[in-house]
Structure 1
Amino acid sequence: MIYLALSILISSSLFAIFKLFEVYKINTLQAIVVNYFVAFTIGYSLSNVKIGLTDIPQQPWFLGAIFLGFLFISIFNVMALTSQINGLSVASVSGKMSVVIPVIFGVFVYNESLGFIKVIGILLALIAVYLTSMKSDSFVKEKHLLIYPILLFLGSGVIDTSIKYIETTYVQDGGVPIFSASIFGIAFVIGLFFVTYRSFKTKFVFEWKNILGGIALGIPNYFSIVFLLKALKTDGLESSTLFTINNVSIVLLTTVFGLILFKEKLQVKNWIGIVIAITSIIIVAIA
């Protein structure tokens, strides 16, 4: 459980980093691309499985890493669009409610348990995510703009599901760091192409603070994935339980961070969501 706790804590800290990007006017796209390079460098350096860069394409998980790398950079951008067009609350709800996708996958593919108590806990978790995240800016006024939350919901769910499947099927013991590093490296290459393409359409402005922002984001981002992958290897902890606790806890902790660090105001429904979130975590953990 220690790896799950560390993943939740570090993933939640990413919220504060993104908020600081706004404060210091850091170019989010450039920082995200740098973040993936930093995460790749750390993972490759720390890996116990010493293989050359040219040998990575020969690994059994390489195609899966390409798929995840593409999803990582794509869903990051969809998340940004959802936040800008539909509101931060909609982005949070869409991303974290996607927990139903890996939960359903775990039940049908891995034959994981789904008793009455666990179902109640998962349903409470979804209600908690909704109530905790929804703020006054969350109303979607135009139906066609729902495409962004839907894509974020599906993409986030597919990422969690794919990480679990590829990790259990193709990644050997001790191979988590190099596997994680490869995902980030591929996301970096794709992001670099995207930034280059954007530079032809709009003037490219280089600032050192974007590099520093990417470094500050890349270090915790790498370890959040590594600890999640290690948590997935925990004996006796089903993925449906893990992803439910993980996603609800991140929403809960980021809400607390916003309250304490950025003096965000919570409505009554947000406080109710926090109570339900804690209840759902306890129920799912017991189940």
Structure 2
Amino acid sequence: MIYILLSIICNIVVSILLKLARRYEISVPQAIVWNYAVASLLTYAFYKPSFTTINWASAPIAVFILLAILLPSLFIILGLSVRYTGIVRTDLAQRLSLFIPLLFTFLILNEPVSILKSVGISIGFIAILCTIPWHKTPLKNKGAVLNWLYPLLVFVGMGIIDLFFKQIAAFTQLQYTTSLFIIFLFAFAIAVLVLIIAILSGKTKFRIINLFCGIILGVFNFGNILFYLKAHRDLPNNPSVVFSAMNIGVIIAGALIGVYLFKEKLSKINRIGIFLAILAIFILYLAK
């Protein structure tokens, strides 16, 4: 369970860094570039991916490229979501995105649907509606639209990425860690290209502080994945325990940090949403 705790800590630190980016005038897009450089280096250092036996003709290159585009794009959306809607709602949207691959499994792969699974999914979607900050400002204002749009993009984006990762994991001709290294490397290349274009067009300027922030971001982003994988290796016969404990831990930790560190205000319905989120994940754990 220590690996789950370490993964939760790394995950929350990433959210905190994104939250602090605006306060210290950090460019999230620039930080993301160096984040993937560090993640690539650490993945190579820890897992020593091998490329000698790769059959590139059958490898899911298209999925690699799509993930390489989606990952940095979603990172930017995560930063905007944390900035405009808070760490609690962003983490909830991120964690509850698990319902997208679940629905895909039930509807496309025809996995049997039990009563507990149906109840858990229903409560989860109600929890998402409850965590949207409807109470802040009228929806006709632009700010109010962003208040629910960013968490929605996080929810959908994370769900799609999870489906792609499941496809990568199903490609048995290539080790998952090697695929992860390739994806990080592709993401870094795409992010660097975008950054160079932005600098040459005068839309942004290179700042050393963004490099340092990106290094820190990359360490904890990689740590989140590393300890999560180690938790699954430590409990190979109980993946649902790892997944459920991870999600519940992040929701609780995110709520505590958002409220007590950043003084975020939650309405009663938001608090109900957090409770329902935990309840939904617990029910799905029982359904497994």
Show the counterpart of 1:209. 209
Deviation at 1:109, TM superposition (A): 5.0
Q: What is the TM-score normalised by the length of structure 2?
A: 0.78
**Could you tell me which amino acid in structure 1 is paired with residue 35 of structure 2?**
N
Q: Is there any run of 5+ residues in structure 1 with no aligned partner, and where?
A: none
- Give the drift of 1:95: 4.6
2:254: which partner in 1? Answer: 254
Match of residue 122 from structure 1: 121
Q: Percent identity?
A: 31
- CA 249–164 in structure 1, closer or farther in 2 if over 3 Å, else same: farther
What are the within-5 Å matches in structure 2 for residues 1-287 of structure 1? 6-51=6-51, 60-80=59-79, 87-88=85-86, 95-108=94-107, 111-132=110-131, 134=133, 136-137=135-136, 140-141=139-140, 151-170=153-172, 172=174, 175-202=175-202, 204-228=204-228, 234-235=236-237, 237=239, 249-287=249-287
User: How far apart, in 1, do the equivalents of 2:261 and 2:238 lie?
Assistant: 36
* 2:105 partner letter: G
Alignment CA distance shift 1:83-1:135 (3 Å): farther
Change (3 A) 1:249 1:59: farther
Q: Is the 8 A contact 1:33 1:191 kept in 2?
A: yes
Give the drift of 1:224: 2.4
- How far residue 118 of structure 1 moved from its aligned partner, in angstroms, is 2.0
List runs of 5+ in structure 2 lacking aligned partners.
none
Deviation at 1:128, TM superposition (A): 2.7
Q: Does 246-255 or 111-120 show the bigger shift?
A: 246-255
Structure 2 vs 1, CA of residues 157 and 109 (structure 1 numbering), >3 Å: closer, same or farther? same
How many residues are matched?
A: 281
* C-alpha spacing 1:82/1:141, structure 2 compared with 1 (3 Å): farther
3-state SS in 2 of match to 1:266? coil
The CA distance in 2 between the partners of 1:230 and 1:139, in whole Å, is: 45
Q: How many Å separate the matches in 2 of 1:169 and 1:21?
A: 37
Deviation digits for residues 95-133 of structure 1, max 9, x if unmatched?
A: 555332201122245554431112212222232344345
SS in 1 for 2:105: helix
CA distance in 1: counterparts of 2:128 and 2:81, whole angstroms? 17
Secondary structure of the corresponding residue to residue 225 of structure 1: helix
DSSP-derived class of the 2:15 partner: helix
AA paired with 2:221? N
The answer (yes or no) to whether the contact 2:40–2:181 under 8 Å persists in 1 is yes
Q: CA deviation at 1:171?
A: 6.2
- Does the residue aligned with 1:23 lie in a helix, a strand or coil? coil
- State the SS of the aligned residue for 1:26: coil
Q: Cα deviation per residue 1:200-221 (whole Å; 9 max; x = unaligned)?
A: 3325422221111001111121
CA contact (8 A) 1:180 1:225 kept: no
- Give the drift of 1:66: 1.9
Change (3 A) 1:245 1:109: farther
* RMSD, aligned CA: 3.7
Greater CA drift, 29-38 or 5-14: 5-14
Which residue identity lines up with residue 117 of structure 2 in the other structure?
K
CA distance in 2, matches of 1:48, 1:235: 25
Q: TM-score, normalised by structure 1?
A: 0.78
Asked if the contact 2:244/2:285 (under 8 Å) is kept, the reply is no
- The range that moved more, 29-38 or 12-21, is 12-21
